[in-house]
Amino acid sequence: MLIIPPSAHASDHKNAKHIERILAGHAKISSVRENSTIWVREVFSSSRKTRKNHLKIWCMGDNFKVHEIKEIENFIDSDVADARIMSDPSLIRVVTDQYEFSLQKRPHIVNGVPQLGPLKMATNSIGQDGLTHWRERMLLMLSQRAWVATTIGMKESRSFFLTPEAELLSGFNKTLLFEMGPITFRELPSGILRMEYSSYAERADPRGVKISTNQIECWTEFDTKKNYRVVTTGGIGHTQKYPINKPTQSLWGRLSSTYEYDETFGRGVIPRRVFHKVWSNGASPEDIIDESSRSYVTEEYLIDKVEFGTVTPADFRGEPYGVPASLIEQDPLPPTAAWWWPWLCGLLGVNALLGLVWWGKRQWGVQA
């Protein structure tokens, strides 16, 4: 694999200072949200339909859990949503550094009407490749929602600056060439730092088909007064696919994202609202400039509630979901109180009786 670093220019030293400050600020943001529970409403809209989901996400270091309800007809208040999302989710996924499992309701037809079936085991991983894949999937999901404050180009900022050639999901395509264009910074009077960049990559999919991706006119804006949290980002992309013995496929796309923070909410590191505007499948650059609603789709994430410091290792156990500890190679929980409480009481009683006998013998010996 050939990796070409950013082109050198006169302001390299100043750029390095900006990057150092961004990474330091984002490290502080990451430490605040390291243990958190997040409630998210999702709205996906196009000119034809709107789809709504509801998520509850648990984060503790490299451990993640999600309960998801798909296709909610109407928005419901947080209390009702939480009760339902805990008792009747349509998807559950748990990912730790040692195991992954998920349960999902599969759609089926009942009397000609599509319905969701019961929760059933869908995936289970204990090998390193599987764990890496699902951890990357969880990070990607968070990078588009509650963790946008530290995301650049759908990657955590540390990964963007230190390993820009890395794919969002490893293990699929093989990178043949990666070139990072110049990164430039511009300080705006409002206290916003604007970063502009570009990149070019060539990769081969598992079938050997070459894919080139040209990221053009990309930008990210940081709030320098709030640990350099990201406030807006976007860019234009051109992807070409070269299938064997077939015409080259060419697609243009554009993304524009804005994030709304409230200093009284989420400790200022998790926004109340994340809004993505996406143009995709354009045959030419002109197709992604059109601002009419039929030419793009929107993704809106409304964060209803955030709690910090309440997640514990017990939240990632498999037993509450009917997943035995042996399946995920985890030590089983100790016996339940109903089994060991009488035994413990009896043991304490015997010890107390032995103690009295010992004390009595000692007293007798003293008196003699």
Q: How many other CB atoms are there within 10 angstroms of residue 133's CB atom? A: 19
Judged against a pLDDT cut of 70, whether residue 345 lies above it is answered with no
The percent of residues in the chain predicted with pLDDT above 70, rounded, is 85
The percent of residues in the chain predicted with pLDDT above 90, rounded, is 67
Angle at 57 between CA 51 and CA 61, to 5 degrees: 145
CA distances from 138 to 109, 135, 214, 225 (A): 30, 5, 25, 29
Confidence of residue 139 (pLDDT cuts 50, 70, 90): very high
Amino acid at 347: L
Q: How many other CB atoms are there within 10 angstroms of residue 166's CB atom? A: 14
Angle at 193 between CA 266 and CA 23, to 5 degrees: 60
Q: How many other CB atoms are there within 10 angstroms of residue 51's CB atom? A: 12
Whole-number mean pLDDT of the chain?
87
Confidence of residue 6 (pLDDT cuts 50, 70, 90): low
- The residues, any chain, with a CB within 8 Å of residue 241's CB and separated by 6 or more, are 209, 210, 211, 248, 249
Phi, psi of 10, deg, nearest 5: -65, -25
